[in-house]
DNA sequence: CCCTGAACCTGACCGC
DNA sequence: TGCGGTCAGGTTCAGG
């Protein structure tokens, strides 16, 4: 038996694993795409009806349907078929794996997408915050996709854009960059990391950002995400085995999960506060308000 | 518009 | 060993 675990996301220790922010979703996409493109779905096996949205009856009965592509928009995977598109979100704890034969499902293995060649895409999601949504028309006008901001690695996400969007916004810059209408794909970990890299205090009001700070922040977001993507990609290429633990979390975190530990720039002990009820770690010396 | 808090769900961990 | 409280990657919604 050969079980290839594409990505494993459901540990809790941030130093041991990785989280479904944009790089993890993109890594998942790249990992599963070769097994799915131009293959035909035989059927889906649904073992729960309680993901973020109920599974549609059409999806439950889907069969003989060719997959033409797998795309990503923000943290959504888009599985494009000749009959419609599957919008998949991993939520907080979702993960995918490819099986080369059907094995007994383990706990929280909620969905199998079974191909006619017997390959299985298996979805596991302990917290059930993810979704599998079937859409047959106007994909990009769908409410989940219509109002999303630019992709962070596109040129459209630049200092001028961020400066313009931040005018008159009193909210904390950390919450601002985590708003998917402003820019997609920045979750809690990378928001912390990007603000540290940009030397900006996470509580700073968005409207107080200078043009230069906007430039620093845009550059920091791109740098952090590119670095994470590079590591994810490496993992996929190198991984083999069935234990589900690629052991690749070599991503060096500068602040997230490092409360009371020394700042890697100035050795001052890092502070933790809560912004929008999310853990926020920063250096009060390096990051100016 | 802004902001806060809660909701969805399960599991891990900590202190007692 | 168990129990209760808290926390965790995301997103949406109600209420002030």
| pLDDT tens, position by position, A173-214 | 999 999 999 999 999 999 999 999 999 999 999 999 999 999
Chain C: nucleotides below 7 Å from protein CB are 7-12
Active site residues of A: 20-21, 75, 278
Nearest-5° angle of CA A37, CA A18, CA A47?
A: 55
pLDDT band at A234 (very low <50, low <70, confident <90, very high): low
pLDDT (average), residues A82-98 = 95
Chain B: nucleotides below 7 Å from protein CB are 2-6, 8-13
Task: Measure, in angstroms, how far nucleotide B2 C1' is from residue A173 CA.
Answer: 14
Its pTM stands at: 0.90
Task: Measure, in angstroms, how far nucleotide C15 C1' is from residue A102 CA.
Answer: 48
* Through-space distance between the first and last CA atoms of chain A, rounded to whole angstroms: 55
- A210 C-beta neighbours (distance < 10 Å), count: 11
The predicted-structure confidence for A1-37, as pLDDT tens digits, reads as follows 333 333 333 322 333 334 688 999 999 999 999 999 9
Closest CA to A202 of A212, A189, A210, A191: A191
pLDDT (average), residues A102-131 = 96
């Amino acid at each position: 038996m050969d079980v290839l675990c594409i990505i494993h996301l459901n540990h809790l220790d941030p130093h041991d694993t990785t989280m479904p922010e944009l790089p993890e979703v993109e890594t998942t996409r790249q990992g599963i795409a070769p097994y799915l493109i131009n293959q035909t779905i035989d059927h889906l096996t649904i073992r729960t009806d309680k993901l973020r949205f109920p599974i549609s009856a059409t999806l439950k009965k889907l069969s003989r349907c060719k997959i033409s592509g797998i795309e990503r928009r923000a943290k959504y995977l888009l599985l494009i078929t000749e009959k419609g598109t599957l919008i998949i979100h991993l939520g907080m704890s979702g993960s995918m794996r490819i099986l080369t034969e059907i094995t007994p499902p383990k706990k929280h293995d909620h969905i199998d997408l079974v191909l006619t060649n017997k390959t299985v895409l298996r979805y596991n999601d302990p917290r059930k915050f993810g979704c599998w949504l079937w859409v047959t028309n106007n994909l990009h006008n769908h409410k989940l996709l219509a109002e999303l901001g630019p992709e962070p690695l596109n040129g459209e996400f630049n200092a001028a854009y961020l400066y313009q969007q931040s005018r008159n916004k009193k909210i904390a810059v950390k919450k601002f960059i985590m708003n998917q209408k402003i820019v997609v794909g920045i979750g809690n970990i990378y928001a912390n990391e990007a603000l540290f890299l940009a030397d900006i205090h996470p509580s700073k009001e968005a409207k107080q950002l200078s043009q230069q700070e906007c430039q620093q922040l845009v550059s920091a977001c791109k740098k952090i995400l590119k670095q994470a993507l590079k590591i994810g990609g490496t993992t996929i290429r190198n991984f083999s085995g069935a234990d589900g633990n690629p052991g690749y979390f070599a991503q060096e975190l500068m602040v997230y999960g490092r409360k009371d530990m020394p700042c890697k720039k100035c050795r001052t002990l890092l502070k933790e506060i809560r912004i929008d009820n999310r853990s926020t770690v920063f250096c009060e010396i390096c990051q100016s308000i």
